């Protein structure tokens, strides 16, 4: 198709034709490397049975690839200036619906219901980096039926999502992601694969949603409060971190008892605990409240 994007010349042509001005505040860095685009599509494992949600289609480069691989594509774009461009670049693809909205305000569960009969959807995106965490956590926490999420993010963020205990990248984001999904870094992507070049490295990560989390926790809310308390004060012991948290109201003695019951040293730091240990600790402390 001569309308096919995915290379620097075509992208520049479109940008000039519409006198499009990149908006930094929307995290606009458009992909111009066909190999990277193909890698993303392959990693998402798309079939014609799938409905894909694309966050931030830009000028529609990846949207074209998605439309060819999936059954249906819903693309949500915040920048009104891109809507006429998408009208041209996607005119040959009848299975694409573009929605001009802020993804953080869209009821995605309703979209999945409306366009996919409530069956699990796939999310694919070259994300606007400034809202990576709210987008990913929003998708997990709002009970949207999801099969997998395959996204371009800042390299350091991908590393944090995949990190395990005892590493410098391990933190609240690692645990939150790994509670819901299995992360896998598909590829590292250098700045020269985008226009304009971002000033950070990027990586494609696939998050395969668990049907059932690998850990059993009665109150996920309490577990995430414990996780936040531990990592807000990373250099402190777990005991002090939990004591100092404004979100928690356990006594010093209760916290000490819970850590003892967990079977770890009283001087352990939160960053040494596995997801399973945070879940067990949450269950122990939940019992204390009853
Ligand atoms: N998918 C395109 C590509 O790969 O070339 C563009 C990716 S660019 C990194 C991020 C896109 O997300 C931009 O088109 C930007 O306008 C859009 N965006 C930024 N914030 C958004 C939001 N809150 N809701 C929806 N789209 C947003």
CATH architecture of 220-288: Orthogonal Bundle (1.10)
Token pair 């529609």 is at which residue? 60
CB 234 within 8 A of CB 269: yes
3-state secondary structure of 263: coil
The atom number, within ligand 1, closest to the CA of 135 reads: 23
Rounded CA-CA distance 31/62 in Å is 8
Q: Would you say the CB of residue 66 lies under 6 angstroms from ligand 1?
A: no
**In b/e form, how buried is each residue of 38-70, taking b as 16+ CB within 10 angstroms?**
ebbbebbebeeebbbbbbbbbbbbbbbbbbebb
Expressed in angstroms and rounded, the spacing between residue 65 Cα and the centre of ligand 1 is 16
Which of 18, 21, 56, 134 has the most ligand 1 atoms within 8 A of CB, as the residue to mutate?
A: 56
Q: Would you say the CB of residue 6 lies under 6 angstroms from ligand 1?
A: no
Q: Would you say the CB of residue 78 lies under 6 angstroms from ligand 1?
A: yes
pTM listed for this prediction: 0.95
CA distances from 19 to 22, 100, 268 (A): 10, 19, 57
- Show the tokens assigned to 94: 């009848």
**56: β partners:** none
Q: How large is the angle between the packed helices 275-288 and 220-232, nearest 10 degrees?
A: 110
The pLDDT of residue 229 is: 94
Q: Would you say the CB of residue 171 lies under 6 angstroms from ligand 1?
A: no
Rounded CA-CA distance 60/66 in Å is 10
Q: Would you say the CB of residue 183 lies under 6 angstroms from ligand 1?
A: no
Expressed in angstroms and rounded, the spacing between residue 121 Cα and the centre of ligand 1 is 19
pLDDT tens sequence for the chain (290 residues):
457 898 899 999 999 999 999 999 999 999 999 999 999 999 999 999 999 999 999 999 999 999 999 999 999 999 999 999 999 999 999 999 999 999 999 999 999 999 999 999 999 999 999 999 999 999 999 889 999 999 999 999 999 999 999 899 999 999 999 999 999 999 999 999 999 999 999 999 999 999 999 999 999 999 999 999 999 888 899 999 999 999 999 999 999 999 999 999 999 999 999 999 999 999 999 999 87
Q: What phi, psi does 21 have (nearest 5°)? A: -105, 120
Token pair 């990586």 is at which residue? 203
Q: Which long-range contacts link 137-145 to residues 24+ away (Cβ below 8 Å)? A: 137/176, 138/104, 138/108, 139/108, 140/176, 140/177, 140/180, 140/181, 140/209, 142/108, 142/109, 143/109, 144/108, 144/109, 144/112, 145/109, 145/112, 145/118, 145/119, 145/120, 145/121
Among protein residues, the one with the nearest Cα to ligand 1's atom 18 is 56
In the 8-state DSSP scheme, what is residue 171?
S
CB 31 within 8 A of CB 193: yes
- Show the tokens assigned to 136: 């990913």
What ranges do the domains of the chain cover? Answer: 8-209, 220-288
Domain 8-209 has CATH 2.40.30.10: no
Expressed in angstroms and rounded, the spacing between residue 194 Cα and the centre of ligand 1 is 13
């Amino acid at each position: 198709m001569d309308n096919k994007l995915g290379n620097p010349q075509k992208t520049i042509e479109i940008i000039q034709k519409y006198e499009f001005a990149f908006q930094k505040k929307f995290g606009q860095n458009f992909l111009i490397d066909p190999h990277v685009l193909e890698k993303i599509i392959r990693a998402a494992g798309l079939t014609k049975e799938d409905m894909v949600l694309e966050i931030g289609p830009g000028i529609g480069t990846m949207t074209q690839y998605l439309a060819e691989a999936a059954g249906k594509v819903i693309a949500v774009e915040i920048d009104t200036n891109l809507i006429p461009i998408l009208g041209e670049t996607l005119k040959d693809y009848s299975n694409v619906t573009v929605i001009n909205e802020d993804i953080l305000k869209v009821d995605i569960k309703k979209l999945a219901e409306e366009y996919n009969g409530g069956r699990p959807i796939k999310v694919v995106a070259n994300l606007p980096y400034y809202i990576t965490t709210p987008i990913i956590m929003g998708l997990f926490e709002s009970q949207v039926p999801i099969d997998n999420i395959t996204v371009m993010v800042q390299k350091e963020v991908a590393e944090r999502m995949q990190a395990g205990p005892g590493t410098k990248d391990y933190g609240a984001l690692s645990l939150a992601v790994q509670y819901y999904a299995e992360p896998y870094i598909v590829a590292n992507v250098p700045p020269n694969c985008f226009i304009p070049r971002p000033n950070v490295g990027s990586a494609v990560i696939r998050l395969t949603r668990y049907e059932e989390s690998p850990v059993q926790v009665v109150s996920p809310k309490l577990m995430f409060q414990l996780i936040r308390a531990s990592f807000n004060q990373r250099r402190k012991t777990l005991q002090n971190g939990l004591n100092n948290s404004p979100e928690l109201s356990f006594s010093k003695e209760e916290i000490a008892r819970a850590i003892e019951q967990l079977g770890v040293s009283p001087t352990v730091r939160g960053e040494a605990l596995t997801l399973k240990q945070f879940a067990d600790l949450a269950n122990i402390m939940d019992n204390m409240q009853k």
